[in-house]
């Protein structure tokens, strides 16, 4: 868990830095980007660490799949709802969402590589 925690922190700092560079002075969009990356990556990382198999080869249970999908869809749509104003969220540009998706993808791939390394050493 120390290694996974470290990797999580590295990707948090990466997200923070990228959002600061992309959205200087845009507090609402920064907040929205941070929220999206955090919720989506946390939801997907559960699929990576729940099994020894690669996450794309280990089908999750029906309820975990539904919960993950609903969480991600809700997080993506939330900034577009009237409730977003209460949290200071603002809609993001497609390019910002795309960059966040790349960061999440890199995080998932990194976690998968680390998981393989871990299980190659632990029987």
Band of residue 14 on the pLDDT scale cut at 50, 70, 90 = very high
Angle 89-91-92 (CA atoms, 0-180°, nearest 5)? Answer: 115
DSSP 8-state class, residue 87: H
d(CA 123, CA 120): 7
Boundaries of domain holding 45: 2-121
Which CB contacts under 8 angstroms, 24+ apart, belong to 2-5?
A: 3/114, 3/118, 4/49, 4/111, 4/114
Q: DSSP label at 91?
A: P
Judge whether residue 6 has pLDDT over 90. Answer: no
Number of domains in the chain: 1
Per-residue pLDDT of 51-107, as tens digits, reads 888 888 888 889 999 999 999 999 999 999 999 999 999 988 888 899 999 999 999
Mean pLDDT of the chain: 90
Q: What is the DSSP string of 38-85?
A: HHHHHHHHHHHHT-SS-TTTSPPPHHHHHHHHHHHHHHHHGGGSTTHH
| pTM of the entire predicted model | 0.87
The model's pLDDT over 21-57, given as tens digits with 9 standing for 90+, comes to 887 778 888 999 999 999 999 999 999 988 888 888 8
């Amino acid at each position: 868990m120390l290694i996974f925690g470290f990797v999580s922190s590295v990707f948090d700092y990466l997200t923070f830095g990228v959002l600061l560079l992309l959205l200087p002075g845009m507090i609402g969009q920064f907040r929205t980007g941070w929220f999206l990356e955090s919720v989506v990556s946390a939801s997907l990382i559960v699929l990576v660490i729940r099994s020894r198999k690669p996450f794309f080869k280990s089908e999750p249970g029906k309820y975990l799949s539904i919960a993950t999908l609903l969480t991600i869809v809700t997080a993506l749509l939330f900034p577009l709802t009237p409730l977003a104003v209460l949290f200071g969220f603002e809609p993001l540009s497609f390019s910002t969402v795309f960059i966040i998706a790349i960061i999440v993808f890199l995080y998932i791939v990194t976690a998968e590589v680390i998981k393989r390394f871990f299980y190659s050493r632990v029987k």
